[in-house]
């Protein structure tokens, strides 16, 4: 995407959650996750690349020892609708017998996070937890319900806070909806 196209999208977008709302949601999640997992020494897996913003803001607020790693699974690539899951980096043997917490930016249809859960469990994880910065209301049941949810969003094409629009604007500290979506 050309920079002028990206700026045009941002200028016409609707702000859904400002930076303060996002920070407040992440602080609340940190408190909830700490209360639940502080005695478990979990392996925390960030789903690249969308969760980098979420993980980077959440991890310093978790007040317990943890091990950190990442995985890379996507159904979107640069497309706007999902396809088959593509694993760039799969979970490793380090999940065996561990309490695993997976961090992701958004729960759309839930297929990607459900596939990650299934893969982590198949590798012998002792427990699986998931935390999403955002959960989109798509009007139907999803194959997974996250254990920790930061913000509820309407069923619109959203970007910012790790979520992109055609590869751009993952770096924004607020969440926007594309005009007309």
Of 104, 108, 135, 164, catalytic: 108
Residue 179 lies in a domain: no
Q: Tens digits of per-residue pLDDT, 120-142? A: 999 999 999 999 999 999 999 99
Best CA proximity match to 58, nearest among 25, 91, 17, 20: 25
Q: Tens digits of per-residue pLDDT, 91-122? A: 888 999 999 999 999 999 999 999 999 999 99
**Residues near 179 by Cβ (< 8 Å), separated by ≥ 6?**
9, 12, 13, 14
| Structural domains in the chain (count) | 1
- Domain range enclosing 79: 18-156
What is the pLDDT, as a whole number, of residue 61? 98
Residue 10 lies in a domain: no
Residue 83, domain CATH: 3.40.50.2020
| Threshold 0.75, pTM exceeds | yes
| 147 given a catalytic annotation | no
Instruction: Please compute the mean of the pLDDT values over residues 25-43 and round it to a whole number.
Output: 98
């Amino acid at each position: 995407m050309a920079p002028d196209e990206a700026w045009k999208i941002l200028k016409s977008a609707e702000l859904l959650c400002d930076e303060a709302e996002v920070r407040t949601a992440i602080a609340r999640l940190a408190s909830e996750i700490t209360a639940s997992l502080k005695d478990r020494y979990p392996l925390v897996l960030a789903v690249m690349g969308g969760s980098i913003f979420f993980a980077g803001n959440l991890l310093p607020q978790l007040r317990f020892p943890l091990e950190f790693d990442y995985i890379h699974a996507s159904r979107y690539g640069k497309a706007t609708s999902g396809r088959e899951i593509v694993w760039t980096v799969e979970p490793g043997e380090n999940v065996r017998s561990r309490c695993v917490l997976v961090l992701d930016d958004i729960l759309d249809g839930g297929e990607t996070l459900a596939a990650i859960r299934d893969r982590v469990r198949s590798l012998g994880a002792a427990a699986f937890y998931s935390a999403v910065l955002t959960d989109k209301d798509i009007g139907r049941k999803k194959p997974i319900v996250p254990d920790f949810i930061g913000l509820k969003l309407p069923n619109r094409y959203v970007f910012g806070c790790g979520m992109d629009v055609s590869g751009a604007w993952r770096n924004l500290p607020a969440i926007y909806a594309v005009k007309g979506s």
